[in-house]
Structure 1
Amino acid sequence: MRTRLVRVVVAVVAALGVLGGTAVAAPSARAWYGWSSMGGRVTSGPAVSSWSQGRLDLFARGEDSAVWHKWWNGSSWSGWESLGGVIIDNPAAVSWGEDRIDLFGRGTDNALWHKWWDGSRWSGWESLGGVITSGPAVSSWSQGRLDVFAKGADNAVWHKWWNGSSWSGWESLGGTIIDNPAAVSWGPNRIDLFGAGADNALWHKWWNGSRWSDWESLGGVITAGPTVSSWASGRLDVFAKGTDNALWHKWWDGSSWLGWESLGGTFQHAPAAVSWGPGRIDVFVQGMDNAVWQRWWT
């Protein structure tokens, strides 16, 4: 990534949530915009996916414990719709192709549950088994490929994948995390996996196409599971809740880690982030008013 010319943080916090702000930027400079309320009454951190430029699909657990869905079509936001189910933690979502979404949640039986959009309709919910103790994370590095991660009963990260025709069993990736993991792919056969460690630092592990790395500490003090997005090959943007309940950001520019920087706000649970194109990031959180709030980089 080119060195940033301007890094602007605009954060206005209200007693009941994160208030909207107005971006302040030098001419032609990229900047953070927001915060903006998406409304709703949610009881978990959100999940977000994108299947094309300008498209966003936002998910969260409602007051009825079902998954609720809201989407941006490139010009306006829809209302919230219920996708049913009963989950007990943050959902996770990813797209591996145009008009495709795969949605995951932790059921009341602590199994992994799955629902998908095929371009014309939503499937029912199906159980993928396992015993998980966090909301899941999911990434995709090619069409038809899904890699799902969650915290197991032993506090390690467990992994299950879809190869295009069948689901694998569960495998342990070790480590010790205290909340939901996060995962993203920035290219074929590449996965970057993150978690909040027992020391409240950010920890990182990656798949390079042939093997998993060891876990490495990226430092910081975070108080919820992180989220991660990628807008280019070799680019990673990680977000997490700090001890001040604000949103903090750390990024990999292809050769080194930079940050942390505060993006302000006050929120609950783990955030969610996605990129729908080069230089674009959308981040969502559950505000203190239980609405979903958005901030974006462009």
Structure 2
Amino acid sequence: MSSRLKIFFIYFVLFFSSPLFAAMWGPTMGTNGKTLAKPVVCSAPQGQVWVFAVRSNNSLYDSVVFRSLSDTSENPWAFVTRIRKGTAPAAACWSSFDLHVFYLELDGSVWQKSWVPYQGWGDSHSVAGYRIQSIATAVRPGGHIDLFARGNDNSLWWRAYHSGHWDGWKSLGGLMDSEPAATGRNNSSTVDVFYRGLNNGLWQLTNRSDHWGTWQGLLGSFDSGPGACSWGNNRVDLFSRTWNKTIQHSYFNGVTWSAWETLTQMVFSAPAATAIGPDHMYLFFNDDQGVILYKEYR
């Protein structure tokens, strides 16, 4: 290689690896929708992002609606199911045609609806459980769903779906003061679950190949439940809202957590997050009017 070509190659590498081309957060965008509870999101490996919102129907129940983030039609929202008033659903996605929504009935039991290709949402069926306050899901390879719930005892409960059936509920302990948030690490058998504790700090529990570790306390003080996503085996991104209504962000690199950084202000819900690939994720939240906003990182 000539000296001139070597110089050009070095310049090329340095230029395109500079901060100018590093992934970064984009501007805050709208979704043309409002919600009574925090937005719920999931994404498919093909890059499709699905957003679920809760709307009032002035009875014992609210309604869940959903849309594809890429849908640019005038009315992109479609009805999914009714839901116990004051709660939020959870969603799990394996592909653009393999969507699942979990929600609570009046007695605190968990129910599931699944997307039927070319037909829409199928019938509801019970996933059991009793006196549950809030839920979250995570997916792992091989058609594995992890379902997490905050029980009336304020501890975290877990059951898993794999090989075509559900395991029984199991208590994971903890003392929760928020809904849980969970994420499966990309293309691995590891899943992480988080919640806000009574001391307003966040707590983390990790499952590696169906073996749970011990609870780990994370620094910080927050007034909402967390949101979490992952785009790598050793990458987890965590979000939560502070008392001055700002969203803070920290990420785990496989060894340690980064310092918290402020992403956006005037947030009026807990955050929700999803990742669709390396250095590519979305953060969702509500403004003071209940409008669902989002920021993209890429």
Match of 1:232 among 268, 277, 285: 277
Q: Who is 1:282 aligned against?
A: none
Larger-Rg structure = 2
Q: Report the residue type matching 2:165 in the other structure.
A: R
Match of 1:65 among 84, 108, 118: 108
For residues 162-185 of structure 1, give each alpha carbon's deviation from its aligned partner in whole angstroms, at most 9, with x where no partner exists. 111421111111211212211110
Tell me the distance in 1 between the aligned counterparts of 2:64 and 2:148.
29
Shift in Å at residue 72 of structure 1? 1.1
Shift in Å at residue 187 of structure 1? 1.4
Q: Who is 2:167 aligned against?
A: 123
Shift in Å at residue 111 of structure 1? 0.8
Give the share of equivalent positions with the same residue, in percent.
28
Judging by fraction of residues, say which structure has more helix. 2
- What's the TM-score once normalised by structure 2's chain length? 0.74
The count of corresponding residues between Structure 1 and Structure 2 is 244
Helix, strand or coil at the partner of 2:134: coil
Structure with the bigger RCO (C-alpha within 8 Å, sep 6+) is: 1
Shift in Å at residue 69 of structure 1? 0.9
Match of 1:140 among 184, 189, 193: 184
CA contact (8 A) 2:33 2:291 kept: no
- Structure 1 pair 219–129 and aligned structure 2 pair: CA distance change class (3 A): same
- Structure 1 pair 8–225 and aligned structure 2 pair: CA distance change class (3 A): closer
Instruction: Show the 5 A alignment for 1:119-198.
Output: 119-141=163-185, 142-198=187-243
Q: Is residue 35 from structure 1 mapped to residue 80 from structure 2 by the alignment?
A: no
Shift in Å at residue 87 of structure 1? 4.8
Tell me the distance in 2 between the aligned counterparts of 1:120 and 1:148.
23
Q: Report the residue type matching 2:77 in the other structure.
A: W
The worse-fitting range, judged by mean Cα deviation, of 31-40 and 13-22 is 13-22
Shift in Å at residue 53 of structure 1? 4.1
Unaligned runs of 5+ in 1: 24-28, 254-298
Q: Report the residue type matching 2:211 in the other structure.
A: S
Q: Who is 1:287 aligned against?
A: none
Unaligned runs of 5+ in 2: 1-22, 36-54
Tell me the distance in 2 between the aligned counterparts of 1:52 and 1:98.
12
For residues 209-231 of structure 1, give each alpha carbon's deviation from its aligned partner in whole angstroms, at most 9, with x where no partner exists. 22100111112211221101111
Tell me the distance in 2 between the aligned counterparts of 1:117 and 1:21.
23
Q: Who is 1:110 aligned against?
A: 154
CA contact (8 A) 1:135 1:150 kept: yes
Q: Report the residue type matching 1:34 in the other structure.
A: P
Q: Who is 1:270 aligned against?
A: none
Q: Report the residue type matching 1:241 in the other structure.
A: N
